[in-house]
């Protein structure tokens, strides 16, 4: 009888983690899966440090094209802005200017068009659930938004993040209680760690922001920001980046204002 009781207890202990469930509002938020509708166009603001550019992105005939809208012309780009603009895979051999002096839109391979359009503003509840794990605690409420704290298991989009870094991260998930949808997820480094002998990371912050999109019947990514500071080869560094997806337009819809 004693051995049977011990066996039953050990079975419960081993299976209990699998039965763990997140708080109901967070669980409901992570259960929302928006429709996989690709946008027709959007405006992206990309920022690195204090510099930023705004780019109009359109998807036609399963191809993606870009147009610089801020600054108004390539001649007005600073060095840092020019590097950001160059990162949009423009083909200089086919590049040119229209008669009005504005840069022409540039197209990538058509095979990449649809996947690229779905990637912009995509929302992946499975990846977020994996990052949050099985437990979270309510730590606050602000005007109908519930704030949960959790211990990150992964970092979305940062698959190569060292285990030592993930172990020192603190996570927050913000839920809009009226919609049962995520508003933001944050990952903040508590303390510091050394990824290798000649480097140390003293600060790391990553935030993903979401907004309700009626066309999708759920949230889409509104933007994200990341900041990192530390030292490498005994030299301090600090860098930050931010992306905002504005004026996202879907078929038969004028805008994506949440």
In the three-class reduction of DSSP (H, G, I as helix; E, B as strand; rest coil), residue 130 is classed as: helix
pLDDT digits (tens, 9 = 90+) for 38-88: 889 999 999 999 999 999 999 877 688 899 999 999 999 999 999 999 988
Query: Hey, is 203 helix, strand or coil?
Result: strand
CB neighbour class for 2 (10 Å; exposed up to 12, middle 13-18, buried from 19) = exposed
Mean pLDDT confidence for 8-13: 36
Q: Residue 87 carries which DSSP code?
A: T
Q: What is the C-alpha to C-alpha distance for residues 24 and 22, in angstroms, rounded to an integer?
A: 6
pLDDT given for residue 59 in this prediction: 84
- Please name which of 86, 20, 22, 28 lies closest in space to residue 53, comparing C-alpha atoms: 86
> What is the tens place of the pLDDT at every residue in 107-142?
444 444 444 444 566 789 999 999 999 999 999 999
Q: What is the pLDDT of residues 151-192, one digit of tens each?
A: 999 988 777 777 888 888 999 999 999 999 999 999 999 888
Residue with tokens 């509708």: 37
Contacts 24+ apart (CB under 8 A), 204-212: 204/165, 204/169, 204/228, 204/229, 206/155, 206/158, 208/156, 208/184, 209/183, 209/184, 210/123, 210/181, 210/182, 210/183, 210/184, 211/256, 211/258, 212/176, 212/179, 212/181, 212/258
The domain limits of the chain are: 23-34+123-249, 41-116
Q: What is the pTM of this model?
A: 0.77
Residue 143, sorted as left (phi over 0), alpha (psi -120 to 50) or beta, turns out to be left
Write out the E strands in 26-168.
41-48, 51-60, 63-70, 106-107, 137-142, 145-150
- Contact status, residue 182 vs residue 174, Cβ threshold 8 Å: yes
User: Burial, 72: exposed, middle or buried (Cβ in 10 Å; 0-12, 13-18, 19+)?
Assistant: exposed
CA distance 182 to 176: 6
Q: What is the pLDDT of residues 203-245, one digit of tens each?
A: 999 999 999 999 999 999 999 999 999 898 888 989 999 999 9
Cis before 71 (ω within 30): yes
DSSP per position, 231-254: EETTEEEEEEEEEEEEEEE-TT-S
Note the maximum CA span of the chain. Answer: 90
């Amino acid at each position: 009888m004693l051995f049977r009781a011990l066996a039953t207890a050990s079975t419960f202990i081993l299976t209990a983690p699998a039965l763990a469930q997140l708080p109901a509002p967070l669980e409901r938020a992570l259960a929302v899966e928006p429709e996989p509708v690709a946008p027709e166009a959007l405006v992206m603001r990309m920022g690195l440090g204090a510099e930023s550019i705004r780019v109009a992105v359109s998807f036609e005939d399963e191809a993606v094209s870009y147009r610089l809208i801020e600054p108004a012309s390539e001649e007005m780009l600073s060095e840092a802005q020019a590097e950001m603009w160059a990162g949009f895979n423009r083909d200089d051999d086919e590049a040119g200017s229209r008669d009005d002096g504005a840069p022409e839109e540039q197209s990538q391979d058509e095979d990449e068009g649809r996947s690229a359009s779905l990637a912009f503003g995509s929302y992946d509840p499975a990846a977020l659930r994996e990052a949050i794990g099985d437990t979270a605690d309510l730590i606050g409420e602000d005007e109908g938004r519930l704030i949960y704290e959790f211990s990150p298991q992964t970092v979305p989009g940062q698959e190569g993040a060292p285990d030592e870094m993930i172990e020192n991260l603190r996570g927050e998930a913000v839920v809009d209680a009226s919609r049962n949808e995520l508003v933001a997820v944050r990952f903040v480094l508590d303390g510091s760690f050394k990824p290798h002998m000649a480097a140390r990371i003293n600060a790391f912050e990553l935030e993903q922001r979401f907004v309700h999109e009626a066309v999708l019947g759920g949230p889409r990514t509104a933007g994200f920001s990341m900041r990192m500071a530390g030292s490498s080869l005994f030299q301090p560094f600090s860098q930050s980046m931010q992306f905002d997806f504005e004026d996202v337009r879907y078929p038969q819809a004028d805008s994506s204002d949440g």
